[in-house]
């Protein structure tokens, strides 16, 4: 039996007039010959239900000169692909909804003398979304504000982290709990983000941002370049000694924690003379100020375009004419050097080379501004029944670290607690790893790798285990072989 015929027998049912009813998802499309289903992932080819995309296997190269088969042809005999370094991913594998049926591929192999089993499938995830990390000093929008695409809410702004703004996109409420249009737009947004495509989002009360995994964010049409070196206080701590002797006061403007050098502990350790320049905002510990301005696209993520505006007063008992004052942002993109005149007013002056060198060093220490996208999903429900007859045993084995979970071969972070809730970096997964079904839900690859003896104890579908050699040969033209991502740990490594 050919691989396509075998998969048709497992994934679809033939009806009259050559129509195939696809049971890969709850939509149950009735697909006529030569047509594809609503998800465009399954098609009726001459009365056989076929995948429109090939199954993806990844070859782990022993060395950089090891031969690979980039695209396997039907006549390929498998000689160039060593089964010991082949990993069959869930990309293109198909699903077995409802999952009382065994997973599409249950593959047996031997690694370092250990018999292993990898259960390979594509999960349909309604309970899924992405967490987006945007490296920027800019204020994108208020916390908990709605994130929209084409006017539909697809997520929200979540807590800001060190040098990054965070978005939460997707989730079951947006996929299924709102209007049909909201669900469709949310699903399309997730697909694009997971495929490392650019997506423009707008934030209520904030700004428009183009987000793309691995690329710099574009805020209101302006690409970001630098991620902050730290907050204003941290910048003071890092560079205080380099400023000492060249300036008398430094104010690092920051939306969160603005730093003032001579008040800061770093300035005191260096025995710097108090400058008497009091900035606006709420004073925290010495040299650290909160809320010096409103959030915005200006200096240090504030709405400030003129840093002199944050000076509340200058104490004539402490300040002196000729005092050298530096303002800088947390990325070094903005900087102003001033000298106090006889009336103790800051007057802009040419920045000395030694001071400029430290400002430039702030920029040098800023990492490139990038967007990161982590796919997050709960692998629960009936998906586990495709792995084992008693799903809770699989869940417990995963939690104990006995069963390794990957998504398209990429490592996942497993959240503690109940269930199998995982996160994976979309850039460490193969291209075109994600799809959708019109429910709507995201389709994503997932693999469970464990010792064969353990799989049997968990009540696994032992009669469905096939040697990896047989699977690779049987797939024939349905197989695409790619190179293993060098940053990903090998799933079979102990």
The answer to whether residues 258 and 242 belong to one domain is yes
Same domain? For 240 and 319 the reply is yes
Of 4-8, 37-41, 339-343, 396-400, the range with the lowest mean pLDDT is: 4-8
Q: Is residue 388 part of a domain?
A: yes
109 in a structural domain: yes
Q: Which residue has the higher pLDDT, 12 or 31?
A: 31
Q: What is the pLDDT of residue 38?
A: 79
Look at residue 72 in the predicted model and tell me its pLDDT: 42
Question: What is the pLDDT at residue 69?
Answer: 46
The answer to whether residues 377 and 476 belong to one domain is yes
The answer to whether residue 255 sits within a structural domain is: yes
Residue 7 has pLDDT above 70, yes or no: no
- The pLDDT mean for the chain works out to 90
Q: What is the pLDDT of residue 94?
A: 83
164 pLDDT exceeds 70? yes
pLDDT digits (tens, 9 = 90+) for 204-227: 999 999 999 999 999 999 999 999
- pTM of this prediction exceeds 0.95: no
Query: Based on the domain organization, do 236 and 359 belong to the same domain?
Result: yes
Which pLDDT value is given to residue 260? 98
- Say whether both 236 and 355 belong to one domain: yes
Mean pLDDT of 264-280: 96
> What pLDDT was estimated at residue 75?
41
pLDDT value, residue 28 = 83
- Domain-embedded: residue 34: yes
Cβ-based neighbour number of residue 42 at 10 Å: 28
**Do 249 and 182 share a domain, yes or no?**
no
Domain annotation covers residue 494: no
Give the domain-ending residue among 224, 241, 264. Answer: 224
Residue, of 53 and 308, whose pLDDT is higher = 308
Query: For residue 296, what are the CA distances in angstroms to 7, 138, 202, 292?
Result: 55, 6, 15, 12
CATH number at residue 152: 2.40.30
Please indicate, yes or no, whether residues 426 and 352 belong to a single structural domain of this protein: no
Chosen domain end from 52, 73, 92: 52
pLDDT over threshold 70, residue 61: no
Instruction: Say if residue 1's pLDDT is above 80.
Output: no
Domain annotation covers residue 490: no
Report yes or no on 82 lying in a domain: yes
pLDDT at 316: 97
Six token digits for residue 279: 């900035």
Identify which of 55-59, 123-127, 380-384, 452-456 has the greatest average pLDDT. 452-456
User: With bands split at pLDDT 50, 70 and 90, how would you rate the model's confidence at 48?
Assistant: confident
- The parent domain of residue 217 ranges over 128-224
For residue 205, what pLDDT is reported?
96
pLDDT for res 47? 85
Assess whether pLDDT exceeds 90 at residue 382: no
Residues 386 and 443 in one domain: yes
* Residue 465 within a domain: yes
Same domain assignment for residues 148 and 98: no
Averaged pLDDT, 277-282: 96
Residue 311: is its pLDDT beyond 70?
Answer: yes
Final residue belonging to a domain, choices 224, 240, 263: 224
Count of domains forming the chain:
4
Same domain, 156 and 236: no
**For 436-485, how does the pLDDT look when each residue is reduced to its tens digit (9 = 90+)?**
988 899 999 999 999 999 999 999 999 999 999 999 988 887 888 999 99
Residue 85 has pLDDT above 90, yes or no: no
- For residues 313 and 384, membership in a common domain is answered with no
3-state SS track over the chain: CCHHHHHHHHHEEECHHHCEEECCCCCCCEECCCCECCCCCEEEECCEEEECCCEEEEECCCCCCCCCCCCCCCCCCCCCCCHHHEEECCCCCCCCCCCCCCCCEEEEEEECCEEEEEEEEEEEECCEEEEEEEECCCCCCCCCCEEEECCEEEEEECCCECCEEEEEEECHHHHHCCCHHHHHHHHHHHHHHHCCCCEEEEECCCCEEEECECCCCEECCEECCECCCCCHHHHHHHHHHHHECCECEEEEECCCCEEECCCCHHHHHCCCCCCCEEECCEECCCCEEECCCCECCCHHHECCCCHHHHEEEECCCCCCCCCEEEEEECCCCCEEEEEECCCCCEEECCCCHHHHHHHHHHHHCCCECCEEEEEEEECCHHHHHHCECCHHHHHHHHHCCCCEEEECCEECEECCCCCCEEEEEHHHCCCCCCEEECCCEEEEEEEEEEEHHHHHHCCECHHHEEEHHHHHHHHHHHEEEEECCCCCCCCCCC
pLDDT at 80: 53
Identify whether residues 355 and 240 lie together within a single domain.
Answer: yes
Low-confidence winner among 15-24, 137-146, 378-387 (lowest mean pLDDT): 15-24
pLDDT over threshold 60, residue 21: yes
Higher pLDDT, 75 or 139: 139
């Amino acid at each position: 039996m050919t691989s396509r015929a075998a998969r048709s027998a497992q994934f679809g049912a033939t009806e009259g007039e050559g129509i195939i009813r696809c049971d890969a998802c709850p939509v149950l499309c009735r697909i006529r010959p030569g047509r594809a289903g609503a998800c465009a992932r399954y098609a009726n080819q001459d009365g056989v239900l076929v995948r429109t995309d090939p199954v993806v296997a990844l070859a782990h190269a022993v060395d950089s000169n090891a031969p690979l088969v980039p695209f396997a042809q039907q006549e390929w005999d498998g000689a160039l692909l060593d089964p010991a370094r082949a990993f069959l991913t869930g990309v293109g594998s198909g699903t077995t909804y409802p999952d009382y049926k065994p997973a599409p591929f249950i593959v047996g192999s031997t690694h370092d003398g250990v018999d292993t089993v990898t259960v390979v499938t594509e999960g349909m995830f309604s309970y899924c979304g992405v967490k987006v990390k945007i490296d920027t000093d800019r204020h994108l929008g208020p916390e908990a504000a709605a994130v929209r695409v084409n006017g539909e809410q697809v997520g929200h702004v979540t807590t800001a982290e060190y040098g990054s703004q965070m978005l939460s996109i997707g989730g079951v409420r947006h996929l299924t709990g709102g209007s049909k249009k909201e669900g469709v737009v949310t699903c399309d947004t997730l697909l694009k983000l997971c495929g490392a495509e650019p997506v423009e989002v707008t934030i209520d009360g904030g700004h428009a941002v183009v987000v793309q995994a691995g690329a710099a964010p574009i805020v209101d049409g302006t690409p970001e370049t630098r991620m902050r070196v730290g907050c204003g206080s941290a910048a003071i701590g890092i560079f205080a000694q380099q400023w000492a002797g060249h300036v008398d006061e430094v104010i690092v403007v920051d939306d969160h924690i603005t730093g003032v050098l001579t008040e800061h502990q770093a300035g005191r350790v260096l025995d710097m003379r108090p400058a008497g320049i009091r900035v606006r905002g709420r004073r925290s510990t010495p040299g650290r100020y909160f809320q010096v301005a409103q959030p915005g696209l200006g200096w240090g993520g504030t709405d400030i375009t003129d840093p002199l505006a944050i000076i509340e007063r200058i104490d004539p008992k402490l300040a002196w004419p000729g005092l050298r004052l530096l303002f800088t942002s947390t990325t070094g993109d903005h900087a102003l050097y001033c000298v106090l005149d006889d009336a103790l007013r800051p007057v802009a002056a040419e920045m000395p080379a030694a001071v400029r060198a430290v400002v430039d060093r702030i920029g040098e220490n800023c990492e490139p501004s990038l967007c990161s996208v982590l796919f997050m999903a709960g692998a629960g429900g009936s998906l586990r029944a495709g792995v084992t007859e008693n799903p809770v045993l699989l869940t417990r084995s995963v939690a104990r670290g006995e069963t390794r979970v990957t998504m398209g071969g990429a490592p996942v972070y497993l959240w503690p607690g109940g269930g199998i809730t995982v996160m994976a970096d979309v850039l460490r997964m193969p291209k075109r790893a994600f799809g959708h079904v019109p429910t709507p839900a995201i389709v994503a690859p997932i693999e469970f790798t464990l010792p064969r003896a353990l799989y049997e104890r968990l009540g696994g579908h032992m009669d469905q285990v096939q040697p990896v050699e047989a699977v690779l040969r049987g797939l024939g033209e349905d197989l695409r072989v790619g190179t293993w991502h060098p940053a990903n740990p090998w799933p079979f490594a102990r």
